[in-house]
A and B are shown apart, each in its own frame.
Chain A
């Protein structure tokens, strides 16, 4: 069933795939993010309790969801690399890591900026924010481990192991932090968990979610291309590519 994927184990094919996908990802991301953001900022109703500061949700929730989604994608890439020995899988993993970390940072930053008007403090140790912070540490660990090895083949495998250890731990961390939070915060319900969200608010949220996801895809294709060029410096097709690029500039 997965035979159509097999050509992408080769770096040249993977590179071509990136080139094909890139414009679609950028176009889609731009479209969705524009529509979603404008809708959310100007046209969606304000929240009964939180007023207009609620509009931060249109960034906070998508980035939080995708920060976890990207980590899972990284772990899947690591698994593919480990089981089928595909270098391109490891390269995709490390291409995704920085953008995943950026998404996590955005979730944390917008969480804090939202929390200040809501709870009066820039930072509270609520379950969601604490879990996101730990997720950021996991990202930094994978990136740091990859950077510590000279041999990038080895680096990919090592970072892959940590990505998998991390992904197994994410549900454990989430559950334990949530439980820890109930111990220490008592009965306060997190404002981030909105029980029912009106449809006028749901649509811009979903559109932004798609927009952010496409953005992640776009940046990942660029970074994957970079990683491929870096690792395949001496291959003739890379040399030809570089010539084209430089000549195009002149």
Chain B
């Protein structure tokens, strides 16, 4: 158990050393959200109408940017190979790394979200729904995303390819998350949407670590 705690601590430590890498996806998210009032219309009703979709799409895009970091540093300094040769369970290692990645990406998002909600004129109910969908949905992004990241570690042209692979897979999450926030706007219940997202999350939590381990074995030969 202490081995995995060790990996957890190490990843956390490395993440905090590279503060720029943590902040940049957030800056990206903020800027992309800002583009919409500028490019579409600053009218409050319009922003409220498109707000949930805008925030979720921007969250998906910025998460795709940040995801490459998941295995890249370990690949570059040889630690990844060491993990794979060590005899520790690779699915467990993957799960720990994804957990750190999620914590490090999500908590700042949590802090930033009231600002985004304010920019897009979301009501308080919508904001609560947004937070719940982000809470359940962002680990799903990290878990499923890590499968594709595992496959493309070491490829030079990784970045856009990663987006091409993952965007279709994230579409159901986008649909249910934005629907939940839209329902909240109309004072309607949205437990069913949250339940579906939670179900997808549980499925991913159960299966993704094994898929990630397999992907790493494929890309690292």
Tell me, yes or no, whether A and B come into direct contact in the complex with CB atoms closer than 8 A: yes
Given contacts A144-B164, A177-B171, contact A165 B147 (CB under 8 A): yes
Interfacial chain B residues near A175, Cβ < 8 Å: 172
**Could you tell me the distance in whole angstroms from the C-beta of B180 to the nearest C-beta in chain A?**
12
Flag if B151 contacts A161 (CB, 8 Å): yes
Given contacts A134-B168, A161-B147, contact A148 B214 (CB under 8 A): no
Given contacts A148-B155, A148-B157, contact A158 B172 (CB under 8 A): no
Flag if B164 contacts A141 (CB, 8 Å): yes
Interfacial chain B residues near A166, Cβ < 8 Å: 168-169
**Could you tell me the distance in whole angstroms from the C-beta of A217 to the nearest C-beta in chain B?**
26
Interfacial chain B residues near A165, Cβ < 8 Å: 144, 147-148, 169, 211
* Cα A212 to Cα B144 with chains together (Å): 34
Interfacial chain A residues near B175, Cβ < 8 Å: 176-177, 179-180
Interfacial chain A residues near B167, Cβ < 8 Å: 137
Interfacial chain B residues near A149, Cβ < 8 Å: 155
* Cα A217 to Cα B161 with chains together (Å): 29
Interfacial chain A residues near B155, Cβ < 8 Å: 148-149
Given contacts A149-B155, A183-B179, contact A161 B168 (CB under 8 A): no
Nearest CB to that of B148 among chain A residues? A162
> Which of B148, B164, B219 is within 8 Å of A154, CB to CB?
B219
List residues of A (127-164) whose CB comes within 8 Å of B's CBs: 134, 137-138, 140-141, 144-145, 148-149, 151, 154, 157-158, 161-162
**Could you tell me the distance in whole angstroms from the C-beta of A100 to the nearest C-beta in chain B?**
14
Verify if B115 is at the interface (C-beta below 8 Å from A): no
Interface centre among B144, B147, B175, B221 (most CB of A within 10 A): B175
* Cα A169 to Cα B172 with chains together (Å): 9
Verify if A206 is at the interface (C-beta below 8 Å from B): no
Nearest CB to that of A153 among chain B residues? B221
Name the prevailing secondary structure of the B interface residues.
helix
Given contacts A161-B215, A180-B175, contact A173 B168 (CB under 8 A): yes
**Could you tell me the distance in whole angstroms from the C-beta of A125 to the nearest C-beta in chain B?**
12
Verify if B32 is at the interface (C-beta below 8 Å from A): no
Verify if B200 is at the interface (C-beta below 8 Å from A): yes
Verify if B165 is at the interface (C-beta below 8 Å from A): yes
* Cα A183 to Cα B186 with chains together (Å): 13
Flag if B168 contacts A169 (CB, 8 Å): yes
* Cα A180 to Cα B193 with chains together (Å): 11
* Cα A67 to Cα B69 with chains together (Å): 35
Interfacial chain B residues near A138, Cβ < 8 Å: 168
Nearest CB to that of B147 among chain A residues? A165
List residues of B (118-152) whose CB comes within 8 Å of A's CBs: 144, 147-148, 151-152
Verify if B71 is at the interface (C-beta below 8 Å from A): no
Flag if A180 contacts B218 (CB, 8 Å): no
**Could you tell me the distance in whole angstroms from the C-beta of B39 to the nearest C-beta in chain A?**
21
**Could you tell me the distance in whole angstroms from the C-beta of A92 to the nearest C-beta in chain B?**
18
Flag if A172 contacts B168 (CB, 8 Å): no
Flag if B179 contacts A157 (CB, 8 Å): no
Verify if B102 is at the interface (C-beta below 8 Å from A): no
Given contacts A149-B155, A158-B218, A162-B151, contact A134 B164 (CB under 8 A): no
Q: Mark B170-202, 1 if CB is under 8 A from A, else 0.
A: 011001100100000000000000000000100
Interfacial chain A residues near B219, Cβ < 8 Å: 154, 158
Interfacial chain B residues near A176, Cβ < 8 Å: 171-172, 175-176
Nearest CB to that of B179 among chain A residues? A183
**Could you tell me the distance in whole angstroms from the C-beta of B146 to the nearest C-beta in chain A?**
11
In the A-B complex, list the 9 residue pairs whose CB atoms are closest, starting with the nearest: A176-B172, A157-B218, A137-B168, A141-B165, A176-B175, A158-B151, A180-B175, A172-B172, A134-B168
B residues at A contact (CB < 8 Å)? 144, 147-148, 151-152, 155, 157, 161, 164-165, 167-169, 171-172, 175-176, 179, 200, 211, 214-215, 218-219, 221
* A141-B168, A173-B168, A177-B171 known, 9 other contacts, Cβ within 8 Å: A148-B152, A154-B218, A161-B214, A162-B148, A162-B151, A162-B165, A165-B211, A172-B200, A180-B175
